[in-house]
Amino acid sequence: MKRLDMDASAGFSCLNPTEISVIIDSASSVGVQSMVALAGTGLTSAALHQGKCLATLTQHATVVANATRFTGDRLLPLRTGSRVHLTAFGIIGYALWSSSTLREALAVTAQYRLLLNMKCGPTLSIEGSEAILYFSEPVGLSAEERGLCVEFEVAKVLTFLRDLQIAGFRASSIRLPATSAEFQSRASTLLGCETVRQGNVAQVRFDAAWLDSSLSQANPRTHRACLEACDLLMEARGSDVDLGTSVRAMLTNAAGIIPTLPEVASSLCMSARTLRRRLDLMDTSYSQLLDDVRKKLALHYVSSTSLTTEVIAEKLGYSDAANFSHAFKRWTGQAPRQYRTKECGGDMPCEMVVGSERLQKHIEFHEAVAA
């Protein structure tokens, strides 16, 4: 199942501010001033109302947390998510509206998730006779912020599903991270679903037969035109950080699991095709960036740690030590053991010196590679 979560640490201002405006309006209706809800974000009410800004995931999460805290309304993320309709996102909303089936609409949602402000999925899974939309928690946020963001997204997606006007459609059950029985009961009423339970992974379940039911408003010609317009919007959507630097940082900090190009694109809130095109415009590619990161990390691991070739190969995402050794010889003209002997003057790794100094140098190295 493909991961479609967003990483707050990416720092991209890529979210339509409409959702933040909805949250602020809800908080204002019960006496919480907009400046209070926006505290710590650097955003202003004027900029939001003029539509002259984009927002980061961190800013969105901060507003949700502020509004929930100062209104004292624990259900605020669900209430505000339920007020966000497809019409808030322009042409991509019409692309979903004109889809032939719910399955196609969900595929469009995954491909153009940036245009719909999708922050943590959903990912579709078919299990028996049930269709399940899973919502993974966005990374880079506090535990409280992750939970509130997921609740907002679940309510928003349920609203999208209702906006598609699928006759008779209803969710059979919903699972949310919150554990309070009172919260689940109130959420059940608010979301219009009899069964709302606690779950480690948020999800919306419904009969899989709904996936291939024809949508009454389907229009193939309109759908194609909308998707073409969405492609142009994805191409035009810029970022406030260097793309190559962001990709390199994600690959460097992958903690032993090298993300695929689609996973990197998803974390940067864009399609894989858009990421390829933008990197091509920079005269580089995912493969080139990955090779560069692997080379720098490999040189560090071989010359400055006692890790075996097998362990290094695994950390860098190679299928086996032989493939890693072949790549290393391509980079340096030497096998890993030969390079280690030459650099360290023997088989003993250079970094067997002082523990604290070793750790600090390791940290500084990763920061330098990521930059």
> What CATH number did the domain enclosing 140 receive?
3.90.1520
Q: What is the pLDDT of residues 87-98, one digit of tens each?
A: 999 999 999 999
| 255 and 358 part of one domain | yes
pLDDT computed for residue 49 by the predictor: 82
Is there a domain that residue 48 lies in? yes
Domain that holds residue 106: 8-212
| 119 and 253 part of one domain | no
C-alpha 67/C-alpha 81 separation (Å) is 13
Two tokens, residue 295: 């080379």
pLDDT computed for residue 9 by the predictor: 47
C-alpha 292/C-alpha 370 separation (Å) is 11
pLDDT computed for residue 39 by the predictor: 94
| 207 and 268 part of one domain | no
Place of tokens 């692309």: 95
C-alpha 115/C-alpha 120 separation (Å) is 14
Domain count, the chain: 2
Is there a domain that residue 330 lies in? yes
C-alpha 185/C-alpha 181 separation (Å) is 6
Residue numbers in the chain where pLDDT is lower than 50: 1-3, 9-11, 239-241, 346-367, 369-371
C-alpha 85/C-alpha 17 separation (Å) is 14
Q: CB-based contacts of 238: which residues, under 8 Å, 6+ apart?
A: none
| 202 and 286 part of one domain | no
Domain end call among 195, 212, 229: 212
pLDDT computed for residue 30 by the predictor: 96
Q: What is the pLDDT of residues 57-102, one digit of tens each?
A: 889 999 999 999 999 999 999 999 999 999 999 999 999 999 999 9
Is there a domain that residue 228 lies in? no
Is there a domain that residue 345 lies in? yes
pLDDT computed for residue 350 by the predictor: 47
What ranges make up the beta strands (E) of the chain? 123-127, 130-135, 173-176, 196-198, 202-207
| 204 and 325 part of one domain | no
| 100 and 50 part of one domain | yes
Is there a domain that residue 314 lies in? yes
| Structural contact between residues 146 and 121, judged by C-beta atoms closer than 8 angstroms | no
Is there a domain that residue 225 lies in? no
pLDDT computed for residue 8 by the predictor: 52
Q: Annotate 253-320 with DSSP letters as a single string.
A: TSTT-PPPHHHHHHHTTS-HHHHHHHHHHTT--HHHHHHHHHHHHHHHHHHH----HHHHHHHTT-SS
pLDDT computed for residue 347 by the predictor: 45
